[in-house]
Structure 1
Amino acid sequence: MRVVNATLDDLKGWLELASEVEFLFGPMGNDPKFIQAVEKNMKQGSAFCVRDNDGLPGSKLLGGLLFSSSNAPNYKIGWLSVSSQARNKGVATALVGHVLRRTPAPAEVTVITFGEDSPDGQPARKFYEKLGFLPLDERIPNGPEGGSRQKFKLVLS
């Protein structure tokens, strides 16, 4: 399983991946702002993906991650999703591990994920906690589906 830079050829697969999790994040596949953000990250080299069978650009995506380094040494995972067929197979761990290895210490990496009251978001919370991210008390607006959100932070030293 290889993590690679996503290209514009991967956009269709990215939007298919996003459609699988719209019940958690709200509509994205037809959202011009989401599409623009994905395209921008692809052009900047900050969109990463795992393709099915390590395929060529445009192949089916198993997972994708958007990563921001614009405020280095404060970094941000802006979006992470894994296709339903590839969950619990190490795809998310590979994606996050890839960006963490590229992040020079000392640094802080943050991500906004689901609040404790979101049953469907518990796997994401547990995933970040397993990687050493800690929940912060910072107030975050609810997600588009109405569920609470919480910021997590990992300190790299």
Structure 2
Amino acid sequence: MNVVNATLEDLNGWLKLAAEVEYLFGPMVDDPNFVLALERNIHQNRAFCVREYDGSPGCSLLGGLLLSTSNAPSYKIGWLSVSAEARNKGVASALLNHVLTLVDIPSEIAVTTFGDDIPDGMPARRLYERFGFIPLEESIPNGPEGGSRQKFQLTIAHR
């Protein structure tokens, strides 16, 4: 399973992933701001994906991750999603492992994920915890579905 930089040919695959999780993240597919942000991240090599069967650009995506690098060495995972059929197969772990090799050391990586009152968000929380992310007590606005959100942070002092 290869993690690669996304290309504009992957845009439809990203939108298909987004459609699967809009009930958790809110409207994205028909949001021109989401599409523009996705295109900008692709152009800036901050959009990473795993393609089905390690295929060529434009193939179906198993998962995708957006990494904000504008405040390095403080980074932010802006979006991580895995297709329903690829969950629990290591796709999210592969994406996280990949971006962790790209960050400067020392660094901090933040992500806002689902609160513990969102059952469908528990796999994401467990994933970040397995990677050493620590939940913070920072107040975060609720998500579009009304559920809580929580910020997690990982501090990397050395490799």
Corresponding letter in the other structure for 2:110:
T
Q: Which residue of 1 aligns with 2:82?
A: 82
Deviation at 1:119, TM superposition (A): 1.3
Corresponding letter in the other structure for 2:13:
G
After TM superposition, the runs of 4+ consecutive aligned structure 1 residues lying more than 4 A away are: none
Structure 1 vs Structure 2 CA RMSD: 0.5
Residue 111 of structure 2 contacts residue 152 of structure 2 at CA under 8 Å; is this kept in 1? Answer: yes
Deviation at 1:120, TM superposition (A): 1.3
Give structure 1 stretches of 5+ with no counterpart: none
Give structure 2 stretches of 5+ with no counterpart: none
Give the TM-score of the pair, scaled to structure 2. 0.97
1:87-102 matches, cutoff 5 A: 87-102=87-102
> Matched residues in 1 for 2:118 and 2:52: separation?
29
Q: Which residue of 2 aligns with 1:16?
A: 16
Residue 114 of structure 2 contacts residue 150 of structure 2 at CA under 8 Å; is this kept in 1? Answer: yes
Corresponding letter in the other structure for 1:127:
L
Residue 72 of structure 2 contacts residue 104 of structure 2 at CA under 8 Å; is this kept in 1? Answer: no
Give the TM-score of the pair, scaled to structure 1. 0.99
Deviation at 1:112, TM superposition (A): 0.2
> Matched residues in 2 for 1:145 and 1:122: separation?
15
Q: Which residue of 2 aligns with 1:150?
A: 150
> Matched residues in 1 for 2:21 and 2:124: separation?
12
Deviation at 1:27, TM superposition (A): 1.3
